[in-house]
Amino acid sequence: MMYSQLAFMIENPDKAKDRTAVSVAGVKGALKAYQAIQKDKPKGQFKSLDDLLAQQQNGTLDGAVKQSVAANCKQNVGGGK
């Protein structure tokens, strides 16, 4: 995920401070790696990644990541409140 985020920031310097865009790129990169691993080891599954793949396939991944980033930012800004 981190490498995908870094690649996105290098390729899109104008969006490097957009936490949502960077996070979406990271999740998509992680899912791409997960799918590659599954081709070699189809029994190696993780429910949370399978759920994210389902969201990607039905077009709701970006919105879900955006919600997660927003919720995480609110927690961090409010000192955990």
Digit-coded pLDDT (tens) for 12-68: 999 999 999 999 999 999 999 999 999 999 888 899 999 999 999 999 999 999 998
Q: What total number of domains does the chain contain?
A: 1
Q: Which of 29, 30, 21, 32 is nearest to 69 (CA)?
A: 21
Range of the domain at 20: 2-77
Span between the terminal Cα atoms of the chain, in Å: 27
- pLDDT of 71: 86
